[in-house]
Amino acid sequence: MGEIHPLPQRRAFRDIVSKAIDPCETCTARSLTICAPLSAEEQLRMASLTTVIPLKPRQVLFREGDEAEFVYNITCGSVSLSKSLADGRRQITGFLGAGDFMGLNTRTAYTVTAEALNDVRVCRFPRAEFRKLLSEMPSLEQRLLAVTETELATAHEQILLLGRKTAMERIASFLLRQSERARARGLAPNPVSLPMTRAEAADYLGLTIETVSRCFTKLRKQDVISLPSADRVMIRQPDRLRALAEAA
């Protein structure tokens, strides 16, 4: 038994995990971070529960108010989370990337809408089984608590931005944050790449697309940034941008 099991298990592990956790090569390292603290057996158990789902740009994974049947983990691509008012006004509450979880809330309904920004792959876990798994794997739960606390701190940062910063301060903060985020993920921090449209950036920053565009133009005219293309921002004067991020 001791001799026979390891190999098949290892093989099954590779097969299933590679299908589940490692679907696209460019983001392997990223998606594994969430599973790094888990043992091989634990990773296998997680993998056996999961279904890989590919999403096209703008495809909606779930909507605010839908019954929360599944928990998702992003393995590749970017997703926006948003909430809307009855008349259509939309607020994007955050952007998630590889390694992030969605649908963890304890309620029975999703509290936000999740939509793919670009080509995305997610791992889907049936909710009940995921929770059961959690209670049996303290290391995963510990990790989720840490991740959720970080998300909460990020949300508080966004609350400060939306409640007290001017349009220009929001844009400057946003660019610096995106740059820092890229750096943390091991990507080039400059020029900043923006996977979202102006509309999405505006809905994230509590502004209109016109205001976002005007701020970009103003920064460009002051030579603080340059715009090689609409979705890439070159930060030419980081110090001035940092000063603008909280200068009334």
- Please report whether residue 226 would count as binding DNA according to CB under 7 A: no
Q: 230 Cβ partners below 8 Å, 6+ apart? A: 198
Q: 64 Cβ partners below 8 Å, 6+ apart? A: 82, 83, 84, 109, 110, 111, 112, 113
Of 176, 181, 169, nearest to 205 (Cα)? 169
Distance, CA of 137 to CA of 75 (rounded, Å): 21
- Please report whether residue 177 would count as binding DNA according to CB under 7 A: no
Pick from 54, 168, 181, 182: which binds DNA (CB under 7 A)? 168
- Please report whether residue 106 would count as binding its own copies according to CB under 8 A: yes
Of 16, 23, 73, 25, nearest to 47 (Cα)? 16
- Please report whether residue 198 would count as binding DNA according to CB under 7 A: yes
Pick from 227, 238, 242, 246: which binds DNA (CB under 7 A)? 227
| Rounded least distance, CB 130 to DNA, Å | 34
Pick from 29, 49, 52, 167: which binds DNA (CB under 7 A)? 167
Q: Which is nearer to its own copies, 231 or 246 (CB)?
A: 246
Six token digits for residue 47: 């993998």
Q: Which is nearer to its own copies, 19 or 242 (CB)?
A: 242
Distance, CA of 129 to CA of 46 (rounded, Å): 10
- Please report whether residue 184 would count as binding its own copies according to CB under 8 A: no
Q: Cα 4 vs. chain centroid, distance in angstroms?
A: 40
Q: Is 242 helix (H, G, I), strand (E, B) or coil?
A: helix
Q: Which stretch binds its own copies (CB under 8 A): 2-10, 51-59, 153-161, 213-221?
A: 153-161
| Rounded least distance, CB 201 to its own copies, Å | 12
Distance, CA of 104 to CA of 70 (rounded, Å): 9
| Rounded least distance, CB 77 to its own copies, Å | 21
| Radius of gyration from C-alpha coordinates of the chain | 20
Q: Which stretch binds its own copies (CB under 8 A): 33-41, 49-57, 139-147, 177-185?
A: 139-147
| Amino acid of residue 219 | L
Binding site for its own copies (CB under 8 A): 81, 83, 85-87, 89-91, 93-94, 104-107, 111-112, 134-135, 138, 141-142, 144-146, 148-153, 155-160, 162-165, 203, 205-206, 246-248
